[in-house]
Amino acid sequence: MSRSILVAIKRVIDFSVHVRVKPDGSGVVTDGVKMSINPFDEIALEEALRIRERGLADEIIAVSVGPADVQQQLRTALAMGADRAVLVQVAEPLEPLVIARLLLALVQRHQPLLVLLGKQAIDDDNTQTGQMLAALWDRPQATFASKLELDGTRARVTREIDAGLETLEVDLPAVITTDLRLNEPRYVRLPEIMKARRKPLDTLTPAELGVADTAAVMRVLEYRTPPTRARGVRVGSAAELVAALEQRGVL
Amino acid sequence: MSAILVVAEHAGGRLNPSTAKCVSCAVAIAAACAPQAAPIDVAVLGAEVAPVTAAAAALGGVRRVLSLERAENAAALAAVWAPQIAALAPEYTHVLGPSTTFGKDLMPRVAALLGVGQVSDLMAVQTPHRFQRPIYASNVLVSVELPAQQRVVATVRTASFQPAPAAGPAPIEARQLQVPLPGHTRFVARSPVNAGRPDLQTAARVVSGGRALASSDNFQLLYRLADALGAAVGASRAAVDAGYVPNDLQVGQTGKIIAPELYIALGISGAIQHLTGIKDARTIVAINKDADAPIFEVADIGLVGDLFQVVPELEQLIRARRASAHS
Ligand SMILES: Cc1cc2nc3c(=O)[nH]c(=O)nc-3n(C[C@H](O)[C@H](O)[C@H](O)COP(=O)(O)OP(=O)(O)OC[C@H]3O[C@@H](n4cnc5c(N)ncnc54)[C@H](O)[C@@H]3O)c2cc1C
């Protein structure tokens, strides 16, 4: 086990964009749309940087799987403070299980102390990759983390669950996926962006990582816009509101 | 032949209502398999599961309940439970868990051990291998299809299914699995269940507050309205981030997805990430002082006004109405 942390980064449509389905139902509109680091991954990276700043890790490696464009998000990750970046370059979006296999190959190369990922990507909302990596790696997982304490061989993780909070203790190395309240990611400053240009960004192919089969198994047959709600009514006072509720039979 | 396994969620000796919803989804898959039979089993893992297995056995459509008792199963640790579910999986064509934090944590680990992908947030069954699910915070729906011979592992979007009705008890079968379990993950603690209030995930009525509440003290206003209505309390991310209420009250893309009969949003702007959580609510009421707030685009009943004025009035009217109904 080295003293490095691997952070997975996904390029997604920015959270503020209202996503639209293409008229022919073949996908969503991405032309001219703002792209960003998945917000949960930004939190994962921020946490890794803080762990390094506390002296508990030496190197932060930002990794991503995607097309050449992802370099843009990896440069942002480097500007935030990652030491180096690895892009596994592929033309088509891959399924979470394949991403997990590619991450496992990177884990075997770098022997990290931790792998940090966002708990979900806000495009597919799958919430799978971290758990799948932990399964393939046969290591602990602590998902939906809102607090993380490390002591060199173990991590104590507070998780946001439906019933409130849960605390787990896991041996390292481990996979941790991040929730919104773990931290607030730092802003990137201009000098850092300049510096990031000189940091190493390596590009690999799945074949170079020994993952031969990356083909999608799940076929997406159709994209559609969900039905919208019928227009509602406006009321002017609490009394009118109660009357409207009575009329709808919900009181 | 098809066969469906549902992984039960439970805590404190009580079956979580999400399991009855997964059974409903399993019934829909079984119906899509007709005329071929597709029996439904429920697996209950735990240290002592007697009351839970009985509750699972009473769900309509269940063929039998598998009881997997083992001291290591006391806490629902994905790393410990997943290898056991994977060991049961060869008998089944479909393995389902709820899309709650429990199922979201566990099921992808099961899928990876089985070497297959997962269908997350399954919301409708189109064929035994074709399903509808939401992406982009439910702004887009996709139909996904798996090869007919592939085992399906899925999490079920519980807001999309009604709970399976009660029926005659199914048999309960104890199983002993010889699966080695890891010791690298240990349960430490869990926050106490906040009893006494209706559960946000299953409540018929929910009153939710946003950033506008401005303090946890002000949330008392909202709790009083909720009490008058017999409603659960929810919140936006902004209200949780600010510490006005605990995280388990968050509704939305990264909180709970709920389907109450009545949802009252107080001082919530209606960001897409919040609306994701309430798409299936039957009646949405919005009270907001900004007439242009996006919440009004989805509200069935909208009131433009100051919540600090409207909410106490509303509470009084509802209490008065209840009192007159009782007299
Ligand atoms: C990755 C990601 C995931 C997210 N997940 C979630 C999620 O799961 N759930 C969620 O809720 N959000 C989520 N968000 C955040 C979301 O984008 C919004 O920021 C959040 O929902 C806003 O909360 P709010 O409506 O309470 O606050 P605001 O947007 O600040 O709205 C406050 C509203 O209160 C009104 N108001 C103010 N004073 C009064 C008054 N006196 N009376 C009446 N009305 C008043 C204002 O007009 C305004 O409309 C997520 C964001 C990201 C990036």
Please indicate, yes or no, whether residues B13 and B144 belong to a single structural domain of this protein. yes
Ligand 1 center to B212 CA (angstroms)? 9
Q: Is residue B199 part of a domain?
A: no
Q: How far is residue B136's CA from residue A224's CA, in Å, rounded to a whole number?
A: 12
The helix (run of H) or strand (run of E) holding residue B320 is: helix B307-326
Q: Is residue A71 part of a domain?
A: yes
Q: b or e along B128-151 (b: 16 or more beta carbons within 10 Å of the residue's beta carbon)? A: bbbbbbbbbbbbbbbbbbbeeeee
Please report the residues numbered 38 through 77 in chain A whose beta carbons come closer than 8 angstroms to any beta carbon of chain B.
none
Q: Is residue B268 part of a domain?
A: yes
What per-residue confidence (pLDDT) applies to B327?
67
- Chosen for mutation from A162, A237, A240, A242 (greatest number of chain B CBs closer than 10 Å) is A162
Q: Where is the domain boundary, B174, B191, B224?
A: B174
- Complete DSSP assignment for B199-246: -TTT-SEEEEE-GGG-STTTHHHHHHHHHHHT-EEEE-HHHHHTTSS-
* Token representation of residue B184: 């690298």
| Half-sphere exposure at residue B104, Cβ-oriented, CA atoms within 13 angstroms | 22
What per-residue confidence (pLDDT) applies to A250?
93
Please indicate, yes or no, whether residues B48 and B160 belong to a single structural domain of this protein. yes
- Tell me, what DSSP letter sits at residue A210? T
Please indicate, yes or no, whether residues B85 and B160 belong to a single structural domain of this protein. yes
Chain B residues closer than 8 Å to A238 by CB: 303, 310, 313-314, 317
Please indicate, yes or no, whether residues B214 and B169 belong to a single structural domain of this protein. no
Number of structural domains chain A divides into: 1
Is A141 in Cβ contact with B282 (below 8 Å)? no
Q: Is residue B99 part of a domain?
A: yes
- What average pLDDT score do residues A134-154 get? 97
Question: What Rg value do the Cα atoms of chain B yield, rounded?
Answer: 21
Please indicate, yes or no, whether residues B134 and B14 belong to a single structural domain of this protein. yes
Confidence of residue A162 (pLDDT cuts 50, 70, 90): very high
- Asked if B290 has any chain A CB less than 8 Å from its own CB, the reply is no
- Tell me, what DSSP letter sits at residue A207? G
| pLDDT, tens only, A53-112 | 999 999 999 999 999 999 999 999 999 999 999 999 999 999 999 999 999 999 999 999
Between the CA of residue A179 and those of A73, A131, A182, B244, what are the distances in Å?
20, 14, 6, 18
**Residue B285 is nearest to which of A18, A135, A241, comparing CB atoms?**
A241
Q: Where is the domain boundary, B135, B153, B174?
A: B174
Domain containing residue A114: CATH number: 3.40.50.620
Q: Give the atom of ligand 1 at the shortest distance from the alpha carbon of B269.
A: 49
User: Where are the alpha helices (H) located in chain A, listed in sequence order?
Assistant: 39-53, 71-80, 96-110, 129-137, 190-196, 238-247
Q: Which of B274, B276, B296 to mutate to test the pocket of ligand 1 (most atoms within 8 A of CB)?
A: B274
* Token representation of residue B136: 């982009």
Ligand 1 center to B274 CA (angstroms)? 7
B91: containing domain? 4-174
Cβ atoms < 10 Å from Cβ of A92 = 9
Q: Is residue B38 part of a domain?
A: yes
Please indicate, yes or no, whether residues B10 and B129 belong to a single structural domain of this protein. yes
Q: How far is residue A101's CA from residue A135's CA, in Å, rounded to a whole number?
A: 10
- Asked if B170 has any chain A CB less than 8 Å from its own CB, the reply is no
Q: Is residue B274 part of a domain?
A: yes
Q: Is residue A17 part of a domain?
A: yes
Ligand 1 pocket (Cβ < 6 Å) reads A 15, 39, 122; B 210-212, 236-239, 250-255, 267-269, 271, 273-274, 287-290, 293, 306-308
Q: Is residue A245 part of a domain?
A: no
Please indicate, yes or no, whether residues B126 and B263 belong to a single structural domain of this protein. no
Please indicate, yes or no, whether residues B244 and B113 belong to a single structural domain of this protein. no
- pLDDT means per 10 residues, chain B with 327 residues, are 97 96 98 96 97 98 98 98 98 98 98 98 98 97 97 98 95 96 97 81 96 97 97 98 96 96 98 96 98 97 98 97 82
Q: Is residue B184 part of a domain?
A: no
Please indicate, yes or no, whether residues B146 and B12 belong to a single structural domain of this protein. yes
Confidence of residue A146 (pLDDT cuts 50, 70, 90): very high
- Chosen for mutation from A15, A21, A114, A128 (greatest number of chain B CBs closer than 10 Å) is A128
**Residue B303 is nearest to which of A18, A125, A241, comparing CB atoms?**
A241
ipTM value = 0.97
Mean pLDDT of chain A: 97
Please tell me the distance in Å from A191's CA to the nearest CA on chain B: 31
Q: Is residue B198 part of a domain?
A: no
Q: Is residue B183 part of a domain?
A: no
Please indicate, yes or no, whether residues B154 and B233 belong to a single structural domain of this protein. no
Chain B residues closer than 8 Å to A158 by CB: none
Please indicate, yes or no, whether residues B264 and B319 belong to a single structural domain of this protein. yes
Q: Which of A173, A171, A143 is nearest to A158 (CA)?
A: A143
Q: Is residue A115 part of a domain?
A: yes
Q: Is residue A231 part of a domain?
A: no
Percent of chain A with pLDDT over 70: 100
Number of structural domains chain B divides into: 2
Cross-strand partners of B64: B41
Q: Whose CA is nearest to atom 34 of ligand 1?
A: B267
| pLDDT, tens only, A198-238 | 999 999 999 999 999 999 999 999 999 999 898 899 999 99
A61: containing domain? 4-224
- Asked if A214 has any chain B CB less than 8 Å from its own CB, the reply is no
Q: Is residue A55 part of a domain?
A: yes
What per-residue confidence (pLDDT) applies to A249?
93
Domain containing residue B148: CATH number: 3.40.50.620
What per-residue confidence (pLDDT) applies to B196?
76
